[in-house]
């Protein structure tokens, strides 16, 4: 019965499978393989995208935020916020556990940009370092034009970025910031924390 079926399916009329059937099968296999290879190549080709550098921020937003964070923890003889990858910390966390702050960043950064353009006639990133410091102090103290700020207020926005910059700089590297334990090295703290196992003498650790 099963023999019959196979023969029947293969379209053979007599004994065995005809050469035509074998050829057909080979053709189908070849075609299939070609389609498989082609499709994979196509997928990998069309799927190829420039790596989006950030999950949440646009490149312009990130550029501004990087400049703000670098003001908060600037580079001197040791790493600053940029070196430590603070932007990646913030970007990753507000795409995750801190998602509730997304709107504050989007609106806050927009207000921040407008503030600098209005007060200094120049984008923040292009100001000299000292001028950036002044601009940031203005916002920290809530002294920038208030009509450019809604929710978050300028003070609230500053406090948010300050807190997240500290987290990114001092937190565990696995969250995206504190690259190569930059801040721990700065403070002379052992990293990763190492402690040998207990050894005992007469039941007491030595």
Partner 1 sequence: MSFPKVNAVIVGAGAGGGIVAKELALAGLSVVLLERGDWARYDEHNDDELQSQRTPALGNPFGPDDRRHRRVFVYPNGSTRIVLPSEGAYSNNAGCIGGGTVSYGAMAWRFMPQDFRLRSTYGEVKDSTLEDWPISYDDLEPFYEKAEYEIGVAGDYTNNPFCGPRKKPFPMPAFPYNKEGRRIVETATRMGLHPFPIPMLRNSVPYNGRPACIHMRSCVGFACPVNAKAGTHNTVLPIALATGNCQLRTGCVAAEIIVDDRGHARGVRYFDSDNRAQEQPADLVMISASATETARLLLNSKSKLFPNGAGNNNDWVGHNLQGHCYVGAFGLIEEEVYEEAGPGATVGISDFNHGNPGLVGGGMLANEFIDLPYRFCDVRPPGEPRWGKAHKDFQRRYYKHVVRLIGPVQEIPNFSARVSVDPAVKDAWGIPVCRLSGTRHPYDLQGGEFLSKKAEAIIKETGATRVWRNGPSLWLSGGQHQAGTCRMGNDPKTSVTNRFGQVHQIDNLFIADGSLHVTNGGFNPVLTIMALAYWVSDYIKTGWKGSKFR
Partner 2 sequence: MTVTRRFKLVCAAGLFTSVFLLACGAGSLAWFHFGNPTNTCASCHEMTGVHSAWSASSHRTLHCRNCHGGSLTLDVHALRSHVNRVVQHFRRSPDQPIRLTEKHVLALQEACRACHPQSFADWQSSRHSATYARIFLDITHNRTEQLAADCLRCHGMFFGGNIEDLVKPISTTGPWALNDAAKASQPAIPCLACHQVHTPAAGFQSAHLYVRREQASFSADLLPITPITQGDHPVKVSPDPRQRLCTQCHAPNAFRQLGSADDRTPSGVHEGLSCLDCHSSHSNSAKASCAACHPSNSHCGLDVEKMDTSFRSTGSKHNIHFVACGDCHNGQRPAKGK
- Residue 100 as a binder of partner 2 (CB under 8 A): the answer is no
Residue 90: exposure state from Cβ atoms within 10 A (0-12, 13-18, ≥19): buried
3-state secondary structure of 201: strand
Per partner kind, with CB cut-offs from 5 to 8 A, the member of partner 2, partner 1, none near residue 133 is partner 1
Of positions 16, 22, 23, 25, contacts partner 2 by CB under 8 A: 25
3-state secondary structure of 37: helix
Provide the angle, in degrees to the nearest 10, between the axes of the packed helices 102-120 and 59-72.
80
Q: Say which residue the tokens 């929710």 belong to.
A: 151
> Considering only CA atoms, which of 103, 102, 106 is closest in space to residue 93?
102
Give alpha helix (H) positions in the chain. 2-10, 19-46, 59-72, 86-93, 102-120, 129-140, 154-170, 182-187
Number of residues forming the site for partner 2 (CB under 8 A): 50
Q: How far is the CB of 89 from partner 2 (least distance, A)?
A: 13
Which residues are at the interface with partner 1 (CB under 8 A)? 71-74, 76, 78, 93, 97-98, 100, 133, 136, 140, 162-163, 165-167, 170-172, 174-175, 183-184, 186-190, 192-193, 195, 197-198, 200, 203-205
- Residue 16 as a binder of partner 2 (CB under 8 A): the answer is no
Footprint of partner 2 on 126-165 (CB under 8 A): none
Q: Quick one: 16 or 32, whose CB is closer to partner 2?
A: 32
Q: For binding to partner 2 (CB under 8 A), which residues are involved? A: 5, 8-11, 24-25, 28-37, 39-41, 44-45, 47-52, 55, 92, 95-96, 172-174, 180-181, 185, 190-192, 194-200, 205-206
């Amino acid at each position: 019965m099963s023999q019959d079926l196979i023969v029947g399916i293969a379209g053979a009329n007599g004994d065995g499978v005809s050469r035509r059937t074998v050829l057909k099968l080979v053709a189908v296999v070849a075609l299939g393989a070609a389609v498989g290879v082609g499709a994979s190549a196509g997928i990998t080709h069309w799927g190829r995208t420039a790596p989006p550098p950030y999950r949440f921020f646009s490149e312009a937003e990130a550029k501004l935020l990087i400049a703000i964070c670098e003001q908060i923890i600037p580079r001197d003889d040791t790493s600053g916020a940029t070196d430590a990858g603070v932007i990646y910390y913030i970007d990753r966390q507000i795409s995750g556990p801190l998602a509730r702050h997304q709107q504050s960043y989007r609106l806050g950064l927009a207000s921040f940009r407008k503030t600098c353009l209005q007060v200094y006639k120049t984008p923040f990133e292009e100001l000299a370092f000292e001028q950036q410091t002044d601009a940031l102090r203005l916002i920290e103290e809530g002294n920038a034009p208030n009509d450019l700020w809604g929710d978050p207020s300028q003070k609230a926005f500053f406090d948010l970025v300050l807190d997240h910059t500290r987290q990114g700089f001092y937190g565990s590297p696995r969250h995206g910031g504190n690259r190569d334990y930059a801040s721990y090295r700065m403070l002379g703290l052992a990293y990763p924390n190492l402690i040998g196992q207990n050894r005992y003498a007469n039941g007491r650790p030595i």
